[in-house]
């Protein structure tokens, strides 16, 4: 399959595991060998008209100066994470690879749903999006095209007047636009292919990367978990780095398995997850057979901090296609 081929996802039932602990030891031992040759979430976020912050765009996170890096806590492999993440690591090299070249673009097609707020009002903003990310360089060279989908009430609330603008945009053609006017991310937060293709290809090295300049204030493990998402959403890692990422994610304390989870496109898979300080279980969803990454979902587990009923879905995404293009759209 050539560089212009698209990566598609398939589904099947996950095989039964008789002894997770025994398998954990076997898988983790094997991950020390060379891999075979892809809230607080990262990415770029555009704004809605009228200055409303929209979660349907791409986000640029500004990271303030941090104290000198502190070594991550001792490497701990949790059995709960083995079921999904170590199998994802095992399967990382089983799919055809993309090999983008400098000057080209990785093109991500996805569907998203995130909360939007303004003037004390809150709702769920939805979009289908195409994101052209340059293989190398700043995100100001990236382009985004959003097709607005009908907004939904935030769980436990009614659809507010401010969501009316989005409702009016449904079905209207959208044009590509520049994804960001500036990108102040530090080097270690980059997710363009030129950078991520040089990340560590071993579990411990990738784990150190995830904990780079993380303040150890009690939320460091959730911060590292969010950075895993930053390397999954609209980011493409070579197989070796992808396997290392999943192996490192499996060592983050507090990670649990969710036997069934649905992405924004309605595809059902199995997920690895961690609960955020805001009472939302942030899930990374994988295909049950191929262990390809499908998307993200945020599910309320604590109603008070989340301001929504337990069990509500307050965010989701679906990564539908990834391909390579020689050029991006022309923006007037």
Q: Helix %, strand %, coil % for the chain, to 5? A: 25, 25, 50
Is the pLDDT at 68 greater than 90, yes or no? no
Where b means 16+ CB within 10 Å and e means fewer, 193-227 reads bebbbebbbbbbebbbbbbbebeeeeebbbbbbbb
User: What's the rounded Cα separation, in Å, for the pair 111 and 320?
Assistant: 8
Span of 22-31, 64-73, 116-125, 161-170 with lowest mean pLDDT: 22-31
Q: Which residues contact 268 (CB under 8 A, 6 or more apart)?
A: 11, 260, 261, 262, 288
Q: How many Cα neighbours within 13 Å face the side chain of 300? A: 17
pLDDT at 307: 94
Considering only residues 325 and 13, tell me which one the structure prediction assigns the higher pLDDT: 325
Contact between 308 and 156 under an 8 Å Cβ cutoff? The reply is yes
Q: What is the pTM of this model?
A: 0.77
| Tokens 């990236």 -> residue | 142
The least confident of 176-190, 200-214, 316-330 is: 176-190
pLDDT above 70: percentage of residues in the chain: 75
**Predicted pLDDT of residue 330:** 83
pLDDT at 80: 54
Q: How far is C-alpha 67 from the geometric centre of its chain's CA atoms?
A: 26
Contact between 170 and 192 under an 8 Å Cβ cutoff? The reply is no
Phi, psi of 188 (to 5 degrees): -75, -5
Structure tokens at 220: 């460091």
What average pLDDT does the chain have? 81
The pLDDT value recorded for residue 62 is 34
Integer Cα distance of 194 and 237 in angstroms: 10
Q: How far is CA 111 from CA 148, 309, 321, in A?
A: 10, 24, 10
More confident residue, 327 or 51: 327
- Taking a C-beta distance cutoff of 8 angstroms, is the pair 141, 194 a contact? no
Tokens standing for residue 332: 């007037």
Predicted confidence (pLDDT) at residue 309 exceeds the cutoff of 70: yes
Encoding tokens for residue 116? 């939007």
User: Residue with structure tokens 């990738």?
Assistant: 206
Helix (H) or strand (E) holding 150: strand 143-153
Helix H or strand E encompassing 200: none
Q: Which two tokens stand for residue 48?
A: 């809605």
**What is the phi-psi region of residue 188: left when phi exceeds 0, alpha when psi lies from -120 to 50, beta otherwise?**
alpha
Q: According to the model, what pLDDT value does residue 42 have?
A: 31
Q: What is the dihedral of CA 172, 176, 179, 182, to 10 degrees?
A: -120
Per-residue model confidence as pLDDT tens digits over 98-137: 999 999 999 999 999 999 999 999 999 999 999 999 999 7
pLDDT-based confidence at residue 71 (cuts at 50, 70, 90) = low
Residue 49 pLDDT grade (very low, low, confident, very high; cuts 50, 70, 90): very low
In the prediction, which pLDDT does 37 show?
28
pLDDT at res. 138: 82
């Amino acid at each position: 399959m050539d560089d212009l081929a698209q990566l598609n996802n398939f589904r099947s039932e996950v095989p039964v595991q008789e002894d997770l602990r025994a398998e954990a030891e076997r898988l983790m031992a094997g991950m020390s060998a060379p891999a075979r040759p892809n809230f607080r979430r990262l990415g770029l976020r555009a704004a809605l008209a009228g200055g409303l912050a929209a979660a349907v765009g791409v986000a640029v996170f500004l990271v303030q100066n941090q104290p000198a890096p502190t070594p991550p806590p001792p490497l701990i492999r949790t059995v709960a994470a083995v079921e999904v993440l170590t199998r994802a690591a095992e399967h990382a090299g089983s799919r055809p690879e993309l090999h983008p070249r400098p000057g080209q673009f990785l093109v991500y097609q996805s569907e998203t749903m995130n909360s939007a707020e303004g003037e004390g009002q809150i709702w769920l903003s939805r979009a289908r999006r195409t994101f052209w990310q340059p293989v190398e360089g700043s995100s100001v060279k990236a382009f985004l095209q959003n097709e607005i989908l009908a907004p939904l009430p935030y769980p436990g609330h009614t659809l507010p007047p401010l969501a009316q603008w989005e409702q009016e945009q449904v079905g209207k053609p959208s044009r590509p636009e520049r994804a960001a006017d500036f990108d102040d991310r530090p080097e270690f937060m980059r997710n363009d292919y030129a950078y991520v293709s040089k990340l560590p290809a071993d579990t411990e090295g990738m784990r150190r990367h995830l904990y780079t300049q993380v303040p150890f204030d009690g939320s460091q493990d959730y911060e590292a978990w969010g950075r895993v998402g930053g390397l999954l959403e609209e980011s493409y890692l070579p197989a070796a780095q992808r396997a290392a990422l999943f192996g490192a994610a499996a060592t983050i304390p507090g990670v649990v398995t969710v036997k069934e989870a649905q992405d924004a496109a309605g595809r059902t898979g199995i997920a690895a997850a961690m609960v955020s300080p805001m009472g939302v279980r942030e899930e990374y969803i994988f295909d049950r057979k191929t262990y390809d990454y499908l998307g993200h979902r945020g599910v309320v587990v604590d109603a008070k901090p989340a301001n929504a009923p337990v069990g509500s879905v307050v965010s989701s995404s679906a990564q539908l296609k990834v391909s390579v293009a020689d050029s991006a759209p022309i923006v007037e």
